[in-house]
Amino acid sequence: MAAGFCAISEMPHQVRHLNSNDHDALVEIYRQAVLGSTAGLYSEAQQWAWAEQSNTLRSLLSKGEGFVISNQRDEPMAFSLRYPADRLALLYSHPDAQRQSCGRRLIEAIEQAAKADTLPALRTEASLISRPLFERLGWQVSWREELRIGGVSFQRFRMHKQLGQGY
């Protein structure tokens, strides 16, 4: 386990706003999530191409509105980012924090922030691994697309969710 991450026995604690002090930990969470959680759905070449995108993550983390789930020591375990305002751009949990409702809690935080901004809907690009979670939370597939990352082919799903009447 990398330094700075919680033990498996430490349950996720709080959802808070992402801040610039979190950036190093979030880049590492991204890499660990891609390399440690996607083997059943993605080839090794896909995992490495995807993980290499962490090099561009820092500039994106400074934009938009993000949320972090931290442990009791306020060490980040999972994060989400909304950028631009109508798009859930990032959603990642460290492998030690997966299957503990972090993804659900972060999506709900993004949805609540969007509702507070009176947005009518949100959109995202979901991976094979995240699509089922989004669907359980009422998101719908708009279309499936193929793209290349680092010269490697991927499939993902453009998804959307209406936020309700009056928003």
Confidence check: pLDDT of 167 > 50:
no
Question: Rounded CA gap, 121 and 123, in Å?
Answer: 7
Confidence check: pLDDT of 2 > 50:
no
Burial class (CB in 10 A: 0-12, 13-18, 19+), 27: middle
Q: Of 16-25, 33-42, 127-136, where does mean pLDDT reach its minimum?
A: 33-42
Q: State pLDDT tens for residues 52-107.
A: 888 889 889 999 899 999 988 889 999 999 999 999 999 999 998 887 889 999 99
Q: State pLDDT tens for residues 106-126.
A: 999 999 999 999 999 999 999
Cβ–Cβ < 8 Å for 1, 86: no
- The per-residue pLDDT for 12 is 56
Q: What percent of the chain has pLDDT over 90?
A: 70
| DSSP-derived 3-state class of residue 66 | strand
Q: Report the chain's C-alpha Rg in angstroms.
A: 15
Length of the chain: 167
Q: Which residue has the higher pLDDT, 76 or 165?
A: 76
Its pTM stands at 0.89
- The per-residue pLDDT for 39 is 75
Max CA pair span of the chain: 46
Question: Rounded CA gap, 69 and 57, in Å?
Answer: 18
- The continuous run of DSSP H or E covering 154 comes out as strand 152-162
